[in-house]
Amino acid sequence: MPRETDAIMKVKDLPPGFTAEPGSTLEFKTGDWRSARPVLDREKCIYCGFCYIYCPDGVYQDMGKDEKWFKPDLDYCKGCGVCAQECPKKCIEMVLEEV
């Protein structure tokens, strides 16, 4: 049974209709569901953007023409590995998270 101090919201404090401010998903850091993280070998990366396009959660950010790579936001990356699977140069390795 959870302790009362663990309560994030009590029944009486819930907004009617269980609504929230728009964009509140940003506060919900789903990255901690991850068991493995994508690690990019930038030497082999050709800046094709497949990881950016295929990522089901849209966590990749285009670092621009100067840097020429896409960076995953690990606050939200769930570690599904789709980017590593689709990368044509196989330059993304899924590395197990240390517990």
Partner 1 sequence: MPAKPIGLEVSLAVAEAVRLCDADVVAAYPITPQTHIVEHLSELVADGKLDAAYIPVESEQSAMSSCIGSAAAGARTFTATSSQGLALMNEMVYIAPTLRTPVVMAIVNRALSAPINIWNDHSDIMSVRDAGWIALFAENGQEALDLTILAFRIAEDRRVSLPVSINIDGFTLSHFIEPVILPEIEEVAAFLPPFDPLVKLDIAKPISMGLLAMPESYTEARKATDDVLLGSKAVVKEAFADFGKRFGREYRTVETYRTEGAETVLVMMGSIAETAMTAVDEMRAQGEKVGIARIRLWRPFPVEEFKAAVAGARRLAVIDRHLVMGAPDGPVALEIKSLMYADERRPEITNYIVGLGGRDVTREDFKYITKKAQEPGAHVRPRYDLVGVWE
- Residues, the chain: 99
Residue 11 found at the interface with partner 1 (CB under 8 A): yes
Residue 26-65 contact track with partner 1, rule CB under 8 A, x = bound: --x-------------------------------------
Q: Toward partner 1, which CB reaches closer, 23 or 56?
A: 23
Distance between CA atoms of 70 and 83, rounded to whole angstroms? 11
* ∠ Cα 91 36 47 (to 5°): 25
Residue 21 found at the interface with partner 1 (CB under 8 A): yes
